[in-house]
Amino acid sequence: MGSEASPRLPFIDFSNVDQNNALDWDITKSRVHQALEEFGCFEASFPNISPELQTALFDSIQQLFDLPLETKLKNQSSKPFHGYYGFLPGQPLYESMGIDDAPILEKAESFAKIFWPEGNPEFSTTIQEYSEKVSKLDQMVRRMVLESLGLEKYLVEHLNSTNYLFRVMKYRKPEADESQHGLNAHTDKNIVTIVQQNQIDGLEVQLKSGDWIKIQPSSSKSFIVMIGDSFYAWTNGRLHSPNHRVVTASREKDRYSLAMFSVTKAGRMIKAPEEVVDEQHPLLFKPYDMGEFFQFYVTEAGLRAESALKTFCGV
Ligand X SMILES: O=C(O)CCC(=O)C(=O)O
User: What is the 3-class SS of the chain, one letter each residue?
Assistant: CCCCCCCCCCEEECCCCCCCCHHHHHHHHHHHHHHHHHCCEEEEECCCCCHHHHHHHHHHHHHHHCCCHHHHCCCCCCCCCCCCEEEECCEEEEEEEEEECCCCHHHHHHHHHHHCCCCCHHHHHHHHHHHHHHHHHHHHHHHHHHHHCCCHHHHHHHHHCEEEEEEEEEECCCCCCCCCEEEEEECCCCCEEEEEECCCCCEEEECCCCCEEECCCCCCCCEEEEECHHHHHHCCCCCCCCCEEEECCCCCCCEEEEEEEEEECCCCEECCCHHHCCCCCCCCECCEEHHHHHHHHCCHHHHHCCCHHHHHHEC
- Residue 206 or residue 257: which is nearer to ligand X going by CB? 257
- Residue 252 or residue 274: which is nearer to ligand X going by CB? 252
Shortest distance, position 255 Cβ to ligand X, whole Å: 8
183 makes contact, choosing from Fe ion, ligand X, none, with CB < 5 to 8 Å by partner type, with ligand X
195 makes contact, choosing from Fe ion, ligand X, none, with CB < 5 to 8 Å by partner type, with ligand X
Rule CB under 6 A: which residues touch ligand X? 167, 169, 183, 188, 195, 197, 202-203, 244, 246, 257, 259
Shortest distance, position 289 Cβ to ligand X, whole Å: 20
228 makes contact, choosing from Fe ion, ligand X, none, with CB < 5 to 8 Å by partner type, with none
Shortest distance, position 110 Cβ to ligand X, whole Å: 22
- Residue 146 or residue 213: which is nearer to ligand X going by CB? 213
Shortest distance, position 185 Cβ to ligand X, whole Å: 9
Regarding 188 and contact with Fe ion (CB under 5 A), the answer is yes
Q: Kindly list the residues in this chain that would bind Fe ion in the complex (CB under 5 A).
A: 188
